[in-house]
Amino acid sequence: MSATIASEYLNTIALGYVDNVDSEYAKRLAKKWHFNYLGDVAAANKQPQLEFILQVHHHALELCKLDEPKLGAIKVDFVAGAVAHRRKFGGGRGQDIAKAVGLKHGFTPHVLDATAGLGRDAFVLAGLGCQLTLMERMPVVAALLEDGIERAKLNHEVADIANNMQLIHGSSIEQMDLASAPDVVYLDPMFPHREKSAAVKKEMRIFQCLVGEDLDADGLLEPALALAKYRVVVKRPSYAPPLAGKKPSMSIKMKKNRFDVYVNQAIPKLTT
């Protein structure tokens, strides 16, 4: 992201608190991530240039789109909701994502999720025992993700999983090698949706408004292939072409998506 674009993007967003009890945490987050500090979020009414609010609410960081309040707030929650259901009933190592990254023969890889987003796929893999390095370039998304990871570390049910996750704020295209020797690189870049906007999940709608599409996503594949020891896994919509037009070694197809797998070398068969 260029400095000009970054400046324009940051001018449309501010960080504040809903309840004064969270004011100090909100100040620390604003300083760390270089967001404009709003104080009480009610003050947003006096700043018409703002399109988004990051708010600390009940000790959790949330993102709101000001002109679509019915969408509600987005936060990273690894403890409850859909993420909890998937952790308990998702199918363990039998899941397609587990097969794609090579969870077999007793092998549990170190995975770099180079397009971490809200961290849901990374959390699944961390829950299966993988060490996860998560890389996210957008400050808003990285701030939400870090807040979710840190809260998860305080919960006895998922603390062990959260401790398998390390976040790096940086551009995967330019700084992927900041991750030390991953066995597998996982990519899930945003792709234009065929559905009308109302049908797209609220998170995707808000993020597309906030940061746009990953128009440079093709540039991820080459550094990923250079860095991954064993394989690169790319999650794609079923209708999308392969990333960078490069045919994968194999694909695992699902109802709406698929995993394209690019093999650098075979997964080792570990002897017990």
172 is in an annotated binding site: yes
Write out pLDDT tens, residues 53-80.
999 999 999 999 999 888 889 999 999 8
171 is in an annotated binding site: yes
251 is in an annotated binding site: no
214 is in an annotated binding site: no
- The region, left, alpha or beta by phi > 0 then psi within -120 to 50, assigned to residue 181 is left
Write out pLDDT tens, residues 172-186.
999 998 888 999 999
CA torsion through residues 74, 79, 81, 86, sign: positive
Nearest residue to 128 (alpha-carbon basis) of 90, 76, 182, 167:
90
Helix, strand, coil shares of the chain, percent, nearest 5, are 40, 20, 35
Q: Are strands 110-113 and 184-187 parallel, antiparallel or unpaired?
A: parallel
62 is in an annotated binding site: no
151 is in an annotated binding site: no
pLDDT in tens, the chain (272 residues): 444 345 566 789 999 999 999 999 999 999 999 999 999 999 999 999 999 999 999 999 999 999 988 888 999 999 988 887 788 777 788 899 999 999 987 889 999 999 999 999 999 999 999 999 999 999 999 999 999 999 999 999 999 999 999 999 999 999 998 888 999 999 999 876 655 544 457 777 787 777 666 678 999 999 999 999 999 999 999 999 999 999 999 999 999 999 999 999 999 887 65
174 is in an annotated binding site: no
**For residues 132 and 56, what is the distance between their CA atoms, to the nearest angstrom?**
26
